[in-house]
Amino acid sequence: MIAKPLAAVTRLTGLWFPAGAVAVLLLISATTVRAASSIEPGDTVRVTIAETPRLDGERKVDADGTIALPQVGSIALAGLGIDEARQRIERMLVQKGILKAPTVLVEIARYRPIYVGGRVARPGAIEFEPGLTVRHALILAGGMGRPAANADSVNVPELRARWQVASFQLLQINSSIARLDDELSRTRQTPVESKTSIRPDLGAVEKIDQGILVDRLATWTESQAHLKDQMALYDFEIDVLAQQAELQENEQRLATEQVARAHRLVERELMPLTRLEELQAVLSNASEDVLENRAVTARAKQGRSDVAYEIASADMKWRLDIQNQLRGLLVERERTKAEIEALGAQIVEAGVTLSEADALQMRPAVTIYRTVDGQETAISAGMSTELRAGDILDVSFGKGTG
């Protein structure tokens, strides 16, 4: 059955518009609808047909992905975007002979809810709105916590104090690990992933570690410069000894020649024996000088070799020292994280509902289970991660700490 045509004018929001303007307004409105997500079972869509208002209304998408439209029947919309759904309804209206040129507007009236479970005060379904983040979902779920059960039997202030001490220890460990990582690469420290909005006192720890890093790098640089200066001095000494050895060997050669000539002259009784003995003493002294020069040169070369080895091995010693420290800190970090997780769980199990700030400090681990193309995917999420309709959130302690 074909619907009756609209009147020449239609009343909208207290004003009168020509009938043709209605279609234009509907199309303009449709462009403002968020179309980033597709229509899925559980969503409620609002269908507006300009030519037949009696077919207007909200329709929930059934489990089989369809909606029921009067006079049209079931229409499959699951998996379609807003524009695709609008075009499909328009085609169905034409195919059924209901309208020749329908003007349809499709909007999502209500999205399928998200579900929050795990360590939250009020687990269950939460109405979804575009732009909803994990942080918003935790707030809507009442924050991290459990219904009160055994709060009277647990010293909650003591648990909180122990948790705060362990939390600060973890921040110190993370800051030290960041400093040691920078020492390994010998670069100026990049700040630890900013937690100062959560723990303002971390700034003092970072400042101390940055100071230690600067001093350590300066010590390394000065040590290397000192060793290289020693190397240069040894090179200079060896060069001087080489020049001295050349002169001493020339003197030894001349003294040897003089003694040989003196021997011949003494044999011929042309030179007194005492003169030969004097020349032999000179030769002996020259030979001693050559030998002493060789000994000093050998010691200088050994000293240079020691410095060269120290320069070459300094980097290895530096790295081994830092890596040993890192190994100890990494073990300590895991132990501290486990302690924080256990303390946080005890606090929540005692029936204490945590504020948003407390929840952030405890670094909850949030896993989103999201169905994509029929396959469920687990996604590790942060506080600012945006949610999608139908997401399932599982909230726990400690896995994201540090």
What is the distance between the alpha carbons of residues 239 and 243, in angstroms, rounded to a whole number?
6
> Which residues share a beta bridge with 17?
10
Question: Nearest-CA neighbor of 39 among 76, 75, 77, 88?
Answer: 77
Tell me how far CA of residue 18 lies from CA of 3, 31, 259, 312, 318, in angstroms.
18, 21, 135, 89, 83
Query: pLDDT (tens digit, 9 = 90+) per residue, 317-365?
Result: 888 888 999 999 999 999 998 888 888 777 766 666 555 445 545 567 8
Query: For residue 186, what is the DSSP state?
Result: T
Query: pLDDT (tens digit, 9 = 90+) per residue, 26-76?
Result: 444 433 334 346 888 889 999 999 988 888 899 999 989 899 988 888 999
Residue scoring higher pLDDT (95 or 187): 95
Do 192 and 202 contact (CB within 8 A), yes or no? yes
Question: Nearest-CA neighbor of 106 among 127, 81, 70?
Answer: 81
What is the distance between the alpha carbons of residues 161 and 202, in angstroms, rounded to a whole number?
17
Query: pLDDT (tens digit, 9 = 90+) per residue, 223-256?
Result: 888 889 999 999 999 999 999 999 999 999 999 9
Confidence of residue 145 (pLDDT cuts 50, 70, 90): low
The answer for residues whose C-beta is within 8 angstroms of residue 14's C-beta and 6 or more apart is none
Structure token pair of residue 183: 């020492």
